[in-house]
Amino acid sequence: MIRKIMIGLGGLLGLLLLVSLLTYALTMPEPLADGAPSEAWLSPGPFSVAMTDRVFVDEARETAANGDAPSLPNRTFPTSIWYPVDSMGSHPLIVHSHGFVSERGDMAYVAELLASHGYVVAAANYPLTSGSTAGGPNANDLVNQPADVSFLIDSVLGLSGGDKPFDGEVDTSRIGLMGYSLGGITTTLATYHPRLRDKRVAAAVSVAGPTAGLVRKFYETSDVPFMMIAGTADALIDFEFNAAIIPARVRNSVLVGIDRGTHLGFGSIAEPWLRLMHHPDGLGCAAVLANADAETDSFIRALGDEADGIVPDDNIPAVCETMPDVKALHPGRQQMITRIAILSFFESVFDENPARREAALSQLSNSLATDLPEASFSASANTNRLILQEL
């Protein structure tokens, strides 16, 4: 009897595995057309990639009490570092900031691609906003995260001997930031905030990051190249009020919009696990609202006031106030656009070869939307001039 049951269970598991494999195969994202210029920017670069973990501890700043969790005398950062193998040259450094209720690997697919092209990418769990936070994630700690970014830059630059996993050195003139959701506004603050910014930042990317309440004055502290990537069907961070306004508000900025792109579609977990959902942002809304302050823009108000260019607007839709009813874009397509856009943006600023920088800018501004029609590109009036000054 037991043998028959085991045979039956084995057959059932085999059938489920077969169904899963068929479903996976039948729901693959539409590939790029043969010979599309974007294909070269989607492919891994010349270097093998390795990833290692480090724990960095900032003894100079404390972690506030949070719910039932007591305060701590320091701020601790479990950190993943992706890096190119056997690359002896100088490397651009990218510090990635994760989203609210998320983890440091939430955009690992981008980190791996950048590392294959010679970048060192570091991403840490922040003390009070990651999904594993003791006492529950607390968005009000956002005000401390720009200083966390600076500490992480210092920590990676300070690696030496056996503690430094990568060959070669980081080029301190080529330090960039990227961030997803709450990590997107962390990146924006570390790039522009009049008191919290890090002047070493030479390029920055916000992926579906909140910007509502940050008016034009806020961005006047820096001319570094800035890119926003956002989906038009984002239920958590409204596209029109947070992304569409970027080219008019931020000097030397570009916007890559993704038609029917969602908030969760940017996360590593979305591909392949959320392929079959009509619109996955309901899951994200449940997680965020369960941990959000009753006043959902309180973390913005803590950052400064009108003198800093921070002017909260009560007319802006709240997080998850509306749920788009359109069918979400396949997360695989959304992440294809994201990988290509981020790589070509950073290469347009950081690559040491002028021809490669120009090719990257052309890829970002022309080929991306041609090869993937769900993508759109727009830029501030002086973007090309200022980026080309970097070349």
pLDDT tens-digit series, residues 222-244: 999 999 999 999 999 999 999 99
339-373 tens-digit pLDDT: 999 999 999 999 999 999 999 999 999 999 999 99
What is the percent of the chain with per-residue pLDDT over 70, rounded to a whole number?
Answer: 90
Give the length of the chain: 391
Confidence (pLDDT) at 390: 46
If you write DSSP's letter for every residue of 195-237 in order, what string do you get? TT--TTEEEEEEES---TTB-GGGGGG----EEEEEETT-SSS
Given a contact cutoff of 8 angstroms between Cβ atoms, the answer to whether 235 and 262 are in contact is yes
pLDDT at res. 129: 97
Q: Please give the average per-residue pLDDT across 141-151, as a whole number.
A: 98
Specify whether the CB–CB gap between 390 and 375 falls below 8 A. no
Please give the backbone phi and psi of residue 149, each rounded to the nearest 5 degrees, phi first: -60, -45
CA dihedral 355, 358, 364, 366 (to 10 degrees): -110
Please name which of 127, 113, 160, 161 lies closest in space to residue 58, comparing C-alpha atoms: 127
In what helix (H) or strand (E) does residue 176 lie, and over which residues does it extend?
Answer: strand 169-180
Q: pLDDT tier at 299 (50, 70, 90 boundaries)?
A: confident
Alpha carbons within 13 angstroms on the beta-carbon side of residue 139 total: 28
Rounded mean pLDDT of the chain? 92
379 pairs with which residues across the strands?
A: 254
Mean pLDDT across the stretch 271-290?
95
| Global pTM value | 0.94
Q: Helix count (H) and strand count (E) of the chain?
A: 14, 9
